[in-house]
Chain A
Amino acid sequence: MNSPRLAVAQGSARHRALQLGGLALVALVLLWGAAQEPFRVGQLTSVLIFAIAISGLNLATGYTGLLSIGHSAFFGLGAYTTGVLVVTYDVEPMLTLPVATVLCFVLGFLVGLPALRIRGLYLALVTLAVGVAFPELVRRFTDLTGGAAGMVIRSKQLAPPEWTGLSLGQRGVWLYWVSAVTLIAVLLLVRNLTRSRTGMAMIATRDNEAAAASSGVHIASVKTIVFGLSGAITGLAGGLFAMYVGALSPDGSFTLLKSIELITGLFVGGAATLYGPVAGALAVVFIPYYSSDLASGHLSGIIFGAVLILIVFLMPEGVVGVLNRVMRRFVRVTPTSPAQKKRKTR
């Protein structure tokens, strides 16, 4: 094994410094993004929102191995929850986000139930059904959702709160920061969850379900809770998305195509990696944007597809998977195991 150029002990001053440096870099990038022209800020906001949505999918599909083709339904349920509450009941937009999150947790939990008996592609089929059903249900419940015609959130209702000092015209910047903070919170949650006992149980379930069960992991609770959390996070992103687009329609962003986009982002970015969803969101927002610069119409779609195939071929573990591998060659964080700690204190 080749030794890394830089070995850093976990929790040492040097490790802290590196972590602080990383945080400073993130803050700088976010500030730079906020200072761009409004169109760019909007584009970056959608990257942040997709990163949240894909992080949700990552819990179920990446870490626990439960392939879901129905996450567009969670994205849509979150969006419509925010939309209906703001438009019909005049609720403060930010207050709708917890509601969207909880509702999507419940839906996720319910979708997780079949996962107890069926797995693999059969489970994917069940989630597919949920994804197909969602736009139909939106169309059916016209009174609540506006049906096929859709619903529009008036921009006045999306005004930034006064304390920010932002004008109504700057609501894009406000949503950008809300999305950024939400994404950071979600990443922290995913990081802590996947490093916890529950996270180990998730990965164990994915790697070998029978062995996990005979180690004492309660497979049923792992799967249902993970599906609930996964749906909740993607639904939270949906709520933000409703504020971002301002107009919701069943055929707009909540069809199976959205599910495919999320799955694509996940695998391009790197499944079961913390930052994979961020890289994946950048890819699904910017690759189509620039490929339509190069060519128009169908050809841009083909270029998008070709780039995706290339990425998947060259980096089957995703962009972040490859970056992690390269990073490990240069920097290694050596963990302080409980045994070592004991030895030190002795």
Chain B
Amino acid sequence: MSLLEVTGLTAGYGPARVLHGLDLRVEEGEVVVVLGANGAGKTTTMRALSGLIPHTGTVVFDGRSLDGLGPDAVVGRGVSLVPQGRGTFSHLTVLDNLRVGAALRRDKAGIREDVDRWCSVFPVLAERGGQEAGTLSGGEQQMLAVARALMSRPRLLLCDEPSLGLAPRIVSELFATLADVNRAEGTALLLVEQNADLALDLASRVYLLEVGRVVAEGEAARFREDESIRRAYLGL
């Protein structure tokens, strides 16, 4: 059985439905990317999966249903979200941001260990540890958002357009770190992206989203190489 199995997911805001029956799955330790243009429903998918907005259809994680759970309960099950546009807590220090990421954990020693660990993976966080997160640059805040999401020791990390608004060099650095985390911790990744090229390098499988539906899926390698797919869907 897959780690995450989504069947017939619909969600939206009030009367406006954005997702019209989405099916996708993520295997244990896998990296999956959801590509799509603006308005395709990428962010809505992430918000629905993480419990920030209600959904219909079924979401099964690790054999248990996530339907009807609030965002804190979803984190408790092992699914953590890196929200779009960083979403760091600008008036908390960098270290306190990380500690909030462990809001559900009670193992003080383990939390301290993890803070130290992510500070060594992202050295800039150690440098800026006592500074308020709002004083960090965009790239640094994105690193912080990823590290904070990892503080709950998730088995699946949802990343909502991590490359948004970042310089290309920072983006490739960030993607390299995500790949490292995936390899070292076995954390599965589900990312939504507009930046197709980098995401395709990182992912093993791809879903292509158009107006709330999956219109194509397959191996990332095929998407990387098949000229007709690239032209038709990715505009490359």
Docked complex Cα distance between A201 and B91 (Å): 12
Does B129 contact A337, Cβ atoms closer than 8 Å? yes
Comparing B16-24, B60-68, B74-82, B215-223, the segment that makes contact with chain A is B74-82
Nearest CB of B to A236, in Å: 27
Does B99 contact A200, Cβ atoms closer than 8 Å? yes
Comparing B100-108, B181-189, B191-199, the segment that makes contact with chain A is B100-108
Does A272 contact B71, Cβ atoms closer than 8 Å? no
- The answer, among A212, A219, A335, for a CB contact under 8 Å with B100, is A212
Known contacts A200-B99, A215-B100, A217-B100; A272/B72 CB under 8 A: no
Nearest CB of B to A20, in Å: 24
Which residues of A are found within 8 Å of B80, using beta-carbon distances?
Answer: 214-215
Q: Is B10 an interface residue (CB 8 A)?
A: no
Interface membership of chain A positions 307-346, coded 1 if the CB is closer than 8 angstroms to chain B and 0 otherwise:
0000000000000000000000000001101110000000
Which residues of A are found within 8 Å of B92, using beta-carbon distances?
Answer: 200, 203-204, 207
Q: Is B121 an interface residue (CB 8 A)?
A: no
Q: Is A211 an interface residue (CB 8 A)?
A: yes
Which residues of B are found within 8 Å of A166, using beta-carbon distances?
Answer: none
Mark out the residues of chain B between 68 and 125 whose CB falls within 8 Å of any chain A CB in the assembled complex: 70-72, 74-76, 80-81, 83, 87-92, 95-97, 99-104, 112, 115-116, 119
- The answer, among B75, B87, B95, for a CB contact under 8 Å with A216, is B75
Known contacts A203-B91, A203-B92, A211-B87; A335/B103 CB under 8 A: no
Does B83 contact A207, Cβ atoms closer than 8 Å? no
Docked complex Cα distance between A305 and B5 (Å): 60
A interface SS class: helix
Does A203 contact B52, Cβ atoms closer than 8 Å? no
Q: Is A197 an interface residue (CB 8 A)?
A: yes
Mark out the residues of chain B between 134 and 180 whose CB falls within 8 Å of any chain A CB in the assembled complex: 145, 148-149, 151-152
Which residues of A are found within 8 Å of B151, using beta-carbon distances?
Answer: 215
Mark out the residues of chain A between 272 and 287 whose CB falls within 8 Å of any chain B CB in the assembled complex: 272
A interface, CB within 8 angstroms of B? 197, 200-201, 203-204, 206-208, 210-219, 272, 334-335, 337-339
Docked complex Cα distance between A215 and B95 (Å): 14
Known contacts A215-B148, A216-B152, A217-B72; A201/B103 CB under 8 A: yes
Closest A-chain residue to B93, C-beta based? A335
Which residues of A are found within 8 Å of B129, using beta-carbon distances?
Answer: 337
Does A214 contact B50, Cβ atoms closer than 8 Å? yes
Does A338 contact B112, Cβ atoms closer than 8 Å? yes
Does A214 contact B91, Cβ atoms closer than 8 Å? no
Does B103 contact A215, Cβ atoms closer than 8 Å? yes
- The answer, among A201, A211, A213, A216, for a CB contact under 8 Å with B88, is A211
The 5 closest A-B pairs by CB, nearest first: A211-B87, A216-B104, A213-B71, A216-B103, A216-B75
Nearest CB of A to B91, in Å: 6
Does A215 contact B75, Cβ atoms closer than 8 Å? yes
Which residues of B are found within 8 Å of A208, using beta-carbon distances?
Answer: 83, 87-90
Does B89 contact A214, Cβ atoms closer than 8 Å? no
Docked complex Cα distance between A204 and B152 (Å): 16
Closest A-chain residue to B50, C-beta based? A214
Does A214 contact B104, Cβ atoms closer than 8 Å? no
Q: Is B130 an interface residue (CB 8 A)?
A: yes
Given contacts A201-B100, A339-B115, 17 further A-B contacts (CB under 8 A): A204-B92, A206-B91, A208-B88, A208-B90, A211-B83, A211-B88, A211-B145, A212-B103, A213-B70, A214-B71, A214-B72, A214-B83, A215-B80, A217-B100, A334-B130, A338-B116, A339-B112
- The answer, among B90, B112, B145, B152, for a CB contact under 8 Å with A207, is B90
Which residues of A are found within 8 Å of B76, using beta-carbon distances?
Answer: 216
Docked complex Cα distance between A214 and B115 (Å): 18
- The answer, among B90, B96, B149, B152, for a CB contact under 8 Å with A200, is B96
Docked complex Cα distance between A111 and B188 (Å): 42
Docked complex Cα distance between A219 and B75 (Å): 13
Docked complex Cα distance between A211 and B80 (Å): 10
Nearest CB of B to A205, in Å: 9
Does B89 contact A203, Cβ atoms closer than 8 Å? yes
Docked complex Cα distance between A213 and B100 (Å): 10
Does A210 contact B90, Cβ atoms closer than 8 Å? no
Closest B-chain residue to A340, C-beta based? B129
Which residues of A are found within 8 Å of B81, using beta-carbon distances?
Answer: 214
Nearest CB of B to A265, in Å: 21
Does B91 contact A213, Cβ atoms closer than 8 Å? no
Docked complex Cα distance between A218 and B83 (Å): 17
Nearest CB of B to A321, in Å: 11
Does A216 contact B72, Cβ atoms closer than 8 Å? yes
Nearest CB of B to A177, in Å: 35
Does A210 contact B87, Cβ atoms closer than 8 Å? yes
- Most A CB contacts (10 A, CB to CB) among B50, B76, B80, B96 go to B96
Which residues of A are found within 8 Å of B104, using beta-carbon distances?
Answer: 216
Docked complex Cα distance between A233 and B80 (Å): 36
Docked complex Cα distance between A272 and B132 (Å): 14
- Most B CB contacts (10 A, CB to CB) among A201, A213, A272, A334 go to A213
Interface pairs (18), CB distance under 8 Å: A197-B99, A200-B96, A201-B100, A203-B91, A207-B89, A207-B91, A208-B90, A212-B89, A213-B70, A214-B51, A214-B52, A215-B101, A215-B149, A216-B72, A216-B76, A216-B104, A217-B100, A219-B72
